[in-house]
Amino acid sequence: MSSGFPTAEEILEALDDEQRIVAETTRGPVRVLAGAGTGKTRAITHRIAYGVATGVYTADKVLALTFTNRAAGEMRTRLRHLGTATVTAQTFHSSALRQINHFWPQLTGANTPRVIESKARTVSEAAQQCGLRADTATLRDLAAEIEWRKVSNLTIDDYALKAHARNMPGKLSVDDVVRVSEAYEKLKDDRGQIDWDDVLLLCAGLLESEKSALMEVRDRYRFFVVDEYQDVNPLQHKLLDLWLGDRQELCVVGDASQTIYSFNGATSAYLLHFAERFPQAQTVELDRSYRSSGAIVATANALMRDRAGALELTSHGDQGATPNLSQHPTEQAEARAVAASIAEEISRGVPAEQIAVLFRTNAQSAALEQALADVSVGYHVHGATRFYDRPEVKQAIMALRGASVVTRPVPLFQQVSDVLRELGWTQDAPQGVGAVRAKWEALNAIMMLADQAPASMTFRDFTSDLLARQEVRHEPTIHAVTLASIHSAKGLEWDSVYIIGLTEGMLPISYAQGLEAIAEERRLLYVAMTRARKALNLSWASQSGAHAKPQQPSRFLAELGTSISAKAKAHRLSTAQ
């Protein structure tokens, strides 16, 4: 009797030649250099599924690691559909916290310390204890500096020696930051609390000091896969080394051109020098982009040409339209022009959820929000409120779960719509933007999941799948234009992407000093460009702020050469009202 899951050969048939090599190379060490949009998640999930299907792996002995709950959720969903649901796919932090929760009570006889969700309030208290006045921005930078110290695996004394080469938050001195760090740690210790960085530190310390715990973990997990390996920081790498031991069953996947978290201690060195640590390692390159058109790929290649570790992508799709560059007199005019262009795209049938506007800093969002509201285009700010944390979503899931207990001989779509209509969903979207429209968009996202469900799916199966999505934070698509910082957009993609604010001082950002910092800013733009499938629009404004401060175009634009167009459409956008 068929299980409904693909066979080993069917798993391989879904892959291209290079992805198939990844899947068939089931034993480590393996390094996969995977460019943007080349199907790396498909390759590694199929590798795991193929290894399980052929008996190389036992599913519950595999640990797949990534860096965000969304990415881990997507990986679990794919593995479930491939028949390998018992594979553990988690973030580094989730895996470390699970191990602490398991071992801590056994070893200490006490409850695991409580993890504080945000360190900002405690950092503020620590600064006050030290007699320092710090505004919100300085407190945020202080928290980031504390995080950098920990993920760099430095004690406070070690940090004090190295900190003189770093830019300190606000007008604080190195001594100020050290004093705040000491006060912050004491506050947490006194309250029996830890932060998310401590989770990794505690797990590493526990495994180093308790050999029985270390051996139990090593027996539990035999095969390791690490996605986005270019984002690994020294502390995560140390923890991975502890889990792995002297074994070589490790597959890492990454792209040096997408290293954009150096401020959090991430380094592509582990990816680039993998073969030095593992001389027997096999390297497979995935350079065929299934996401972006030929024209967009050419633009991205132009930006990263001759850069260390950069893969030159080829496009599997059509050539498509040449990316466009437009100049505007002010930032407000730029926002209005982008909003007008988006409204035009939507009127031509481009789904709103397939359009995104990306920017370097969150502060750039305000002008766009107003401009989109003025032309009645719905939007959502990515990362502002998690989908499953919204009250209307929680209410809808509870209502659907309750209704699914009763079996009715009607289509799934009708059963779900009947429940959601009682909560305020309608087939047509309400006019305008605001809270009412935002609620409708959230409920409609659930409705779209029902619409896209397999014909064989029952109402109860649908609600079970929805609960599974909620648990792993696998968010559905919102039927609205996305506004997002470039950092938060990593891992996402849209048909049409607008990148705004391409000026000196914004991208590259003003505080990016030195070759390494500028290289990271270039990689940020590369990540933003490669989010686009079909259309890419770049823009900048000649003047900034209420005082009309003159601005210069980003130095990166000059590197794009003939891969971009700045003709008719640019003029039309610049003169939009």
Q: Using an 8 Å Cβ cutoff, are 488 and 383 in contact?
A: yes
Q: Which two tokens stand for residue 287?
A: 């350079």
φ, ψ for residue 288, nearest 5 deg: -95, 110
Q: Does the N-terminal peptide bond of residue 169 adopt cis geometry, omega within 30 degrees of 0?
A: no
pLDDT digit string, tens, across residues 515-543:
989 999 999 999 999 999 999 999 999 98
Residue 15 to residue 21: CA distance in whole angstroms: 9
347-384 pLDDT, tens digit each: 999 999 999 999 998 888 888 988 998 888 888 888 66
Average pLDDT over every residue of 211-218: 95
- Residue 411: cis peptide before it, omega within 30 degrees of 0: no
What pLDDT is attached to residue 448?
81
1-19 pLDDT per residue, tens: 346 788 989 999 989 999 9
What is d(CA 534, CA 531) in angstroms, rounded to the nearest whole number? Answer: 10
**Lowest-pLDDT choice from 105-114, 421-430, 560-569:** 560-569
Q: How far is CA 364 from CA 361, 380, 544, 563, in A?
A: 6, 14, 11, 26
> Which range has the worst mean pLDDT, 26-40, 342-356, 502-516, 540-554?
540-554
pLDDT value of residue 463: 87
User: In sequence order, which residues have a C-beta less than 8 Å from that of residue 539 and are 6 or more positions away?
Assistant: 325, 326, 327, 328, 334, 337, 338, 498, 499, 500, 501, 502, 573
pLDDT of residue 546: 62
Residue 547 tokens, joined: 């005082």
At 122, give phi and psi (nearest 5°). -70, -35
Q: From the centroid of its chain, how far is CA 172?
A: 31
Q: Which of 18-27, 105-114, 167-176, 568-577 has the lowest mean pLDDT?
A: 568-577
The pLDDT, as a whole number, for residue 18 is 95
Neighbours of 432 (CB within 10 A): 10
**Residue 477: what pLDDT?**
67
In which residue are the tokens 């299934």 written?
290
Alpha helices in 192-311, H assignment, sequence order: 196-209, 211-220, 234-244, 269-272, 274-277, 294-304
Q: What is the pLDDT of residue 568?
A: 34
226: Cβ–Cβ under 8 A, 6 or more apart, which residues? 64, 65, 66, 232, 240, 250, 251, 252, 253
pLDDT tens track for 416-457: 989 999 888 888 777 655 667 778 878 888 888 888 788 788
Residue 295, pLDDT score? 94
Whether 524 contacts 556, CB under 8 Å: no
Distances (CA, A) of 420 to 104, 428, 476, 478: 43, 13, 16, 16
Which amino acid, residue 388? Y
The pLDDT value recorded for residue 571 is: 35
Cα dihedral 364/367/369/375 (nearest 10): -140
In this model, does residue 572 exceed pLDDT 60? Answer: no
Query: pTM of the full predicted structure?
Result: 0.81
- Going by C-alpha positions, the residue among 368, 395, 396, 392 that lies closest to residue 382 is 368
Amino acid at 147: E
Q: Which one, of 472, 434, 479, 490, lies nearest residue 452 by Cα?
A: 479
Q: Distance between CA 471 and CA 468 in Å, rounded? A: 5
pLDDT for 566? 61
Radius of gyration in angstroms for the set of CA atoms belonging to the chain, rounded to a whole number: 25
Three-state SS for 72? helix
- pLDDT, residue 254, reads 95
Query: How close are the terminal C-alpha atoms of the chain, in Å?
Result: 64
Query: What are 220-233's pLDDT values in tens digits?
Result: 999 999 999 999 99
pLDDT at 385: 59
The position carrying tokens 């359009």 is: 355
pLDDT of residue 98: 93
CA atoms of 192 and 438, how far apart (whole Å): 39
Confidence of residue 567 (pLDDT cuts 50, 70, 90): very low
Compute the distance between CA of residue 494 and CA of residue 354 in angstroms, rounded to an integer: 5
Q: How far is CA 124 from the centre of its chain?
A: 28
488: its two tokens: 């938060």
Model pLDDT, residue 101? 93
What whole-number distance in Å separates Cα of residue 316 and Cα of residue 313? 10
pLDDT class for 91, splitting at 50, 70, 90? very high
Q: How far apart are CA 106 and CA 110, in angstroms?
A: 8
According to the model, what pLDDT value does residue 446 have? 87
Question: What is the mean pLDDT of the segment spanning 496-511?
Answer: 93
Residue linked to tokens 């640590």: 277
Whole-angstrom distance, CA of residue 91 vs CA of residue 68: 6
pLDDT score of 63 more than 90? yes
Do the beta carbons of residue 64 and residue 91 sit within 8 Å?
no
Say what the pLDDT of residue 434 is: 60
Name, in order, each residue with C-beta under 8 angstroms of 335's C-beta and a sequence gap of 6 or more: 367, 368, 370, 371, 500
Does pLDDT of 77 surpass 60?
A: yes
pLDDT (tens digit per residue) in 385-402: 567 777 888 888 889 988
Q: Mean pLDDT over residues 131-153, rounded?
A: 87
Please report which confidence band the pLDDT of residue 465 belongs to, taking 50, 70 and 90 as the band edges: confident
Integer Cα distance of 394 and 439 in angstroms? 12
For the record, the structure tokens of 577 come out as: 């009202």
Q: Is residue 301 within 8 Å of residue 514, measured between CB atoms?
A: no
Q: Are strands 532-544 and 549-550 parallel, antiparallel or unpaired?
A: antiparallel
Which tens digit of pLDDT belongs to each residue from 291-348?
999 999 999 999 999 888 889 999 988 899 999 999 999 999 999 999 999 999 999 9
403 burial level (CB within 10 Å; 0-12, 13-18, 19+): middle
Average pLDDT over every residue of 503-512: 89
